[in-house]
Amino acid sequence: MKYLDEYREADAVMKYAAMIKKITTKPWNIMEVCGGQTHSIVKFGIDELLPKEITLIHGPGCPVCVTPLEQIDKAIELASNKNVVFCSFGDMLRVPGSKKDLLSVKAEGGGVRILYSPIDALKIAKENPDKEVIFFAVGFETTAPANAMAVYQAKQQGIKNFSILISHVLVPPAIEAILSSPNNRVNGFLAAGHVCTIMGYEEYYPIAEKYHVPIVVTGFEPVDILNGIYICIKQLEEGRAEVENQYSRVVDKAGNLHAQNIIKEVFKIRNRKWRGIGEISQSGLGLNDNYSEYDAEIKFNLNDIIVDEPSECISGLILQGIRKPFECEVFGKICTPEHPLGATMVSSEGACAAYYKYRNKMKV
């Protein structure tokens, strides 16, 4: 399969592993930002091919993981309303709120529907004028354009019974939050290739310069990731801190301008809370004033909810790269994918879920 098999080819994988070993002379900590990259690293055993001096740290780039507990509770409150059809991507249904999840609401007869596109929610709204149709708009810059387009089309078509519950977050402010933390131990980043497909990578230049840290735009297959690590280690060993693009077959510097324009048309940047981490300034998106009538939190007058994470869970430390899943006392014991306690076990892209699926918990 073109653009897939050649990036899993064993000879190429071993070639890059040998190149990394040859140039590595010091200990380095590299953070892969995206949960999809974490999943590949653990699935293919990429970290086990690296010299002992290199430590891979798993970052906060799993959209399901970082959706705050409070937003899940708001989604459950909305979905429990008999006058509401609550639409969501399927991976959000099992994410636990403080008391239950959306799948439980659906089992209890709630109007919960799984969709593959927010545009489909508009069709449901037009077909059900006596119902309020809400789409759960979560994720990073990758899902924001489609959600923005749904709101834009709703306004253009005069659809009044449609709104979105927003939990959009942005990658660059999260990287800055990690780098500015006194607990930071990250020397270099593998930036998420799909986010850069939308946004390009010019916004990383000031971060690399300010914190003197290499940022390498990287894909998701084993050869991509090892190539990205090689580029990053080469910079560190040479004392450089630049932005480079390993994923050039997909990403260009400016990104997708059409996608960026629809985001700018509909959304504005605002503070957002990240599950397990807390609020990060200017790290999320909300509807701008021209589209505020489609904000479900305003439309349904949802009150702020304050909920505490389970005290046993160290997801926040894992999302910041401070701890690893097997360093958690409840990992694989009372916290499993079937009964997750925290953010990094709730999604298949989460670091804890990846370790649980691909590594024997007694060995990790």
299 phi/psi in degrees, rounded to 5:
-60, -40
Q: Residue 363: pLDDT band by 50, 70, 90 thresholds? A: very low
pLDDT tens for each residue of 75-112: 999 999 999 999 999 889 988 888 889 999 999 999 99
Q: What is the pLDDT of residue 348?
A: 76
Chain centroid to CA 188: how far? Answer: 19
The reported pLDDT for the residue numbered 99 is: 87
pLDDT (tens digit, 9 = 90+) per residue, 181-192? 998 999 999 999
**pLDDT band for position 1 (50/70/90)?**
low
Of the ranges 84-93, 317-326, 355-364, the best mean pLDDT one = 84-93
Statement: residue 316 has pLDDT above 50: yes
Higher pLDDT among residues 342 and 194, named by residue: 194
How are the residues of the chain apportioned to helix, strand and coil, as percentages rounded to the nearest 5?
A: 45, 20, 35
Per-residue pLDDT of 246-284, as tens digits, reads: 999 999 999 999 999 999 999 999 999 998 788 999 999
Which tens digits make up the pLDDT trace of 156-190? Answer: 999 999 999 999 999 999 999 999 999 899 999 99
Of the candidates 109, 151, 259, which has an alpha carbon nearest to the alpha carbon of residue 196?
259
**What is the per-residue pLDDT across 137-148, written as a single tens digit (0 to 9) for each?**
999 999 999 999
* pLDDT bucket at 362, cuts 50 / 70 / 90: very low
Q: What angle do CA 39, 103, 41 make, to 5 degrees?
A: 0
**What pLDDT is recorded for position 349?**
79
Least confident of 26-40, 222-236, 330-344: 330-344
Average pLDDT estimate for 227-252 = 97
Neighbours of 154 (CB within 10 A): 26
Percentage of residues in the chain with pLDDT exceeding 70? 98
Cross-strand pairs, 335: 331
* Beta strands 132-139 and 112-114, pairing class: unpaired
Average pLDDT, the chain: 93
- How does residue 361 score in pLDDT terms, banded at 50, 70 and 90? very low
The predicted model gives 343-356 an average pLDDT of: 85
End-to-end alpha carbon distance in the chain: 33
